[in-house]
Structure 1
Amino acid sequence: MKTSPSLLPLLRSRMQGELLALVLLHPEREYTITELADACGVTATAALREVRRLSEGGILDERRVGRSRLVKARRDTPLYQPLSDLIAVTFGPMPLLAEALSGLEGVQDAYIYGSWAARYHGEPGPPPGDVDVLVVGTPDQDALFDLAERVSRQLGREVNVHRVAPEAWAGTTADPFLTSVRERPLLRLDLEQETR
């Protein structure tokens, strides 16, 4: 299992945090086991095991429709709101930013970099105070600012968005900022998955 003690040491694995972020931060939606497994990069068996644990703990609700098992957050429990808030602050940047950026015209690619990406990849250190996002493309700068403000409120921490032209990101450049971003932990946001 993927471990990530640096984002939220209370969780057993990074996969558990990713699964909780997906389900708790989209409480109106039901997910199949296959969708959860694909989103977390694990096997369906691993996702099913985690869903069973969380269902037995009263955090998730599952139901069968034919051969499919549908999973969603249980909002009728006192655990929902505090756990959802904790997950938003720790594992929320990936799903919330991917969702927000996938609908924005001109975005070709997007990455989280900086301290949040470093903690996600297991580098020890203090909890990140903000989330740094690199957007490759030509989206409207005002729209990016509005998006950052909206996601900042959802996450309870500042989101800083830096836009870069596709040719600057694709090429070998002497730009010290881009060199620094490339040399440190980088987490690509799956924008295609959000559009499905």
Structure 2
Amino acid sequence: MNTTEAQTIGQIIRRTRLELGMSQYVLADRLAAVSGKPTMGRDRVARWERGSQVPRNEWRQWLSAVLDVPTDRLDRGAEVARRQNRLGHALVTGSTTASTGTARRAQGTPALLPVFRSRVQAGILAATLLNPSRAFSLSELAEEAGGSLASVSKESKILEEAGILYTRYEGAIRLIRAATDKPMLSPLTELIRVTYGVPQVIGEEFGRAAGVAQIALTGTWAERFAGVAGPEPESIQVRLIPVADEHPDVRELRAAAHRAEARLHRPVVFSVATKRPPAGQRGRRAPRTATAARVPRQRSHGPVVHIAPQSTPDAMPPTAEAWATGADVIARLNGGGHLELFSGPSADSRPHFEVAAHHLESAERVLASSPESAFVLMYQAAQAIGTGLLAAQGLRVAAGSPGDVLGQAAVAQFGPQFRQLELLRQRHLAMTDPSWRDNRVADIDVDGALPAIRALLKSAQDLTIELNLFA
């Protein structure tokens, strides 16, 4: 049998993810974005990769979109995994001759500091110990630590039994905070601060500097944090994006670096990006792609701190470079006659968004009695959302253009969550093809996708506030 054909879906996911330079956290973040399901976490990706769980058909569709792997290949890999599970094979991601340490790392032991059970546990400790006066709900801790509610609940109970955390209840809400009266917390807090607490410290110190819009941790430290194997980082590299038309005071930035060095006990090296968005695009919100990892996301006072493992300037949170890439795609589609420029009263997104909202409400009403009708309404709502985004820029799809033009234009400019436009279009085409083996839609399919389309509508409405006509 061909080696590629014999791969389990976990091996396919892991190999493709590594080829694309993604960590498990980045992949989980992108899947959460395109699926509209914020509960998607890194722990689920880890279970898929090590074979303890096989992704359902729904997730294989999203994996296909994010990893650009054909769905049928993922389906075959899922069948291989099920067959091996039935035979009782122990599935281990990667080479079966890997050392114990390598196998553990593949299953999620943090490369930066393997003292902790998992990244989720480290994220919980970073959130609670570095914010000792605050009590967190389980959902807040899940957001901070980058894990599922179940994993956060399990880890926090273990830490509570160890005397590190306290739990109290307000009604049905479980609130968790650091056990600040315990003497062992002082050295543990220091250990967390110089490892998983780096994003918070950097955010606090550089966020105080005037004129800083975005902060990214890059280089070797970010690679270790994201789980990429390699040498111990000698310094912490920080890249700053200034507010448009402002120049942060270098002396203030140096002072921030010195304060951070004193707290983190290692050198902090910063650089300031010099590129600005083109004049017609200043003030726009950056597309919500998942270039930077959010694993775990500690609280910061000021700009959000992104973790960008690649050390190149392109690894920064998407700003001018991302807009330029989107502009190139739009220019190519326009030059090929697939997009048209227009202006006047018609260049207004609001009517399209109103139609989308109406379709989504109608889809909810008819879901129980007619899932197929609900799906068609949801598909039309997604198309209206994409059309509205382009209309705000004075763009529209030209007559006779390929069906995927709308999705291409939206993804290029606004991020991977807009791949849902093309996924829904393809599913709609399958519904109208009687030869397609899976052309029926169940209510659970629509019910699971509706929140994602609602979130897409909200994102589009937020984006259009700051969009100008495309030039």
Shorter-chain TM-score tier: 0.7 to 0.9
In structure 2, the partner of 1:10 is 115
Secondary structure at 1:37 match in 2: helix
Q: Tell me by how many angstroms 1:47 deviates.
A: 1.7
Alignment pair present for 1:94 and 2:199: yes
CA distance in 1, matches of 2:180, 2:217: 29
In structure 2, the partner of 1:140 is 249
In structure 2, the partner of 1:167 is 276
In structure 2, the partner of 1:175 is none
Residues 68 and 187 of structure 1: CA distance in aligned 2, closer, same or farther (over 3 Å) = farther
- One-letter amino acid of the counterpart of residue 5, structure 1: P
Secondary structure at 1:90 match in 2: coil
In structure 2, the partner of 1:69 is 174
Q: Tell me by how many angstroms 1:115 deviates.
A: 1.0
2:216–2:238: 8 Å Cα contact kept in structure 1? Answer: yes
In structure 2, the partner of 1:27 is 132
- One-letter amino acid of the counterpart of residue 53, structure 1: I
In structure 2, the partner of 1:123 is 228
Secondary structure at 2:215 match in 1: strand
1:135–1:162: 8 Å Cα contact kept in structure 2? Answer: yes
Residues 38 and 147 of structure 1: CA distance in aligned 2, closer, same or farther (over 3 Å) = same
Q: Tell me by how many angstroms 1:125 deviates.
A: 2.6
TM-score (norm 2): 0.35
Alignment of 1:104-115 (within 5 A): 104-115=209-220
CA distance in 1, matches of 2:136, 2:190: 20
Q: Deviations over 1:83-112 (max 9, x none)?
A: 111111211111222333444432221111
Which residue, out of 124, 147, 155, partners 1:42?
147
Alignment pair present for 1:151 and 2:254: no
TM-score (norm 1): 0.79
In structure 2, the partner of 1:181 is 312
1:36–1:47: 8 Å Cα contact kept in structure 2? Answer: yes
| The structure with more helix, counted as a fraction of residues | 2
Which region of structure 1 is more displaced relative to structure 2, 38-47 or 98-107? 98-107
Residues 44 and 54 of structure 1: CA distance in aligned 2, closer, same or farther (over 3 Å) = same
- Taking only aligned residues, the RMSD between alpha carbons, in angstroms, comes to 2.4
CA distance in 2, matches of 1:4, 1:96: 23
Q: Tell me by how many angstroms 1:56 deviates.
A: 1.0
Residues 92 and 154 of structure 1: CA distance in aligned 2, closer, same or farther (over 3 Å) = same
- One-letter amino acid of the counterpart of residue 145, structure 1: R
1:34–1:44: 8 Å Cα contact kept in structure 2? Answer: yes
Instruction: Between the two structures, name the one with larger relative contact order (CA 8 Å, sep ≥ 6).
Output: 1
Alignment pair present for 1:83 and 2:214: no
CA distance in 2, matches of 1:98, 1:19: 18
Secondary structure at 1:167 match in 2: coil
Q: Percent identity?
A: 34
2:202–2:260: 8 Å Cα contact kept in structure 1? Answer: yes
Q: Deviations over 1:42-70 (max 9, x none)?
A: 22222222211111111111211222222
| The structure with more strand, counted as a fraction of residues | 1
CA distance in 2, matches of 1:114, 1:85: 23
CA distance in 1, matches of 2:125, 2:159: 9
Residues 180 and 50 of structure 1: CA distance in aligned 2, closer, same or farther (over 3 Å) = closer
Residues 180 and 152 of structure 1: CA distance in aligned 2, closer, same or farther (over 3 Å) = closer
Higher CA-based Rg = 2
Q: Tell me by how many angstroms 1:157 deviates.
A: 1.5
Secondary structure at 1:70 match in 2: strand
Q: Give ranges in structure 2 of 5+ residues lacking alignment.
A: 1-42, 47-107, 278-285, 287-309, 318-471
Secondary structure at 1:62 match in 2: strand
In structure 1, the partner of 2:448 is none
Residues 181 and 159 of structure 1: CA distance in aligned 2, closer, same or farther (over 3 Å) = same
Which region of structure 1 is more displaced relative to structure 2, 3-12 or 55-64? 3-12
- One-letter amino acid of the counterpart of residue 221, structure 2: W
Q: Tell me by how many angstroms 1:4 deviates.
A: 4.8
Q: Give ranges in structure 1 of 5+ residues lacking alignment.
A: 171-178, 189-196
2:218–2:311: 8 Å Cα contact kept in structure 1? Answer: no
